[in-house]
Structure 1
Amino acid sequence: MRDETARRHVKARGHRAARDTEPRRSVELSPDEALRLLGSMPVGRIIFTRHALPTARPVNHVLDDGDIVIRTHEGAALVSQAQENGGHGVVVAYEADDIDPVGRTGWSVVATGYCRLVTDPGQVARYQEMLHPWTDQHMDHVVRIHPDLITGIRLVAADGDGEES
């Protein structure tokens, strides 16, 4: 069933058919390598709790001194939670990946930590220059995630050495 779903996905996106059906091996990444890979992608997903349930939103980001920085809007649930928590931060996860559905290789990284609103006007202006949201919605808030836990895996051919990028 899963192979048929994968074949439909590949066909719908115009990719060539996946021919390599050999199993893949999962190789654990060091936190430094995981953060480097996360920084190589312009978009990821922020995962937070909303109404006691996990919620994920795709956002673009930048890395700044090991922290993940995103912009968001006034009405965002994440902004409300951060404001209600008195500046102590809200625990979130941030995930980015680069998976090749044809070759069935790639990587996935999850960074977990506290997210806080950036309130210093100079820093807000700096991040507004560095980070341009992809949507037409006015993103007037900046959020910084300081990762306390960074994990990642790389999917490689079962006989691969795990060193591809």
Structure 2
Amino acid sequence: MSTPASPLHMTELSGGEALWLLEGSTLGQLAYVQREQAAIRPARHVWEYGRLIVRTPVPAKAVPPTVTYVADEIDPKTGAGWTVNLTGPVDVVCEPHEAAHYRRALAGWVHGPHDTLLRLRPQTITGFRLTGTEA
């Protein structure tokens, strides 16, 4: 007979704690609306100077002016971990030296026209910690 899974608590994080967790990770997902459907793409990121730099396999022209970025670390066995969402305006990193720096710092999946570097200026930051209950 299997034991029922323990219930989880979801606790909202402060903006500072959410950013601290985000800074400690490098993988996430870029989410935006394209042709009236949600588009979710894998991405790598780095937090610098109050901006999130994102490298993702998406054509630059497909990215709308505002996007959401999601990063999380959740244990598949326990369900414990955290999730952070940032939403705000985004622009493409076009300056050649800056782009070269971020291409060296952030591994990509695809090289060519679908390898885009974005600068996200978060206006909304939300995060949650997922924890098990104490018996």
Normalising to structure 1: TM-score of the pair? 0.71
Matched residues in 1 for 2:24 and 2:96: separation?
27
Other-structure match for 1:137: 111
Other-structure match for 1:80: 61
Other-structure match for 2:46: 62
SS in structure 2 at match of 1:156: strand
Aligned 8 A contact 2:44 2:56 in 1: no
1:97 to 72, 77, 92: 72
Normalising to structure 2: TM-score of the pair? 0.85
Matched residues in 2 for 1:146 and 1:80: separation?
18
Q: CA RMSD in A?
A: 2.3
Change in 2 beyond 3 A, CA 1:45/1:72: closer
1:28 to 4, 7, 12: 12
Matched residues in 2 for 1:128 and 1:24: separation?
38
Cα offset, 1:157, TM superposition: 1.9
Change in 2 beyond 3 A, CA 1:25/1:147: same
Aligned 8 A contact 1:35 1:66 in 2: no
1:152 to 124, 127, 131: 127
Aligned 8 A contact 1:20 1:103 in 2: no
Question: Which segments of 5 or more consecutive residues in structure 1 lack a partner in the other structure?
Answer: 1-17, 83-88, 161-165
1:53 to 30, 37, 48: 37
Aligned 8 A contact 2:41 2:56 in 1: no
SS in structure 2 at match of 1:147: coil
Matched residues in 2 for 1:55 and 1:105: separation?
26
Q: Aligned residues: percent identity?
A: 32
Matched residues in 1 for 2:102 and 2:33: separation?
25
Paired amino acid for 1:129: R
SS in structure 2 at match of 1:119: coil
2:87 to 112, 116, 122: 112
Higher strand proportion, which one? 2
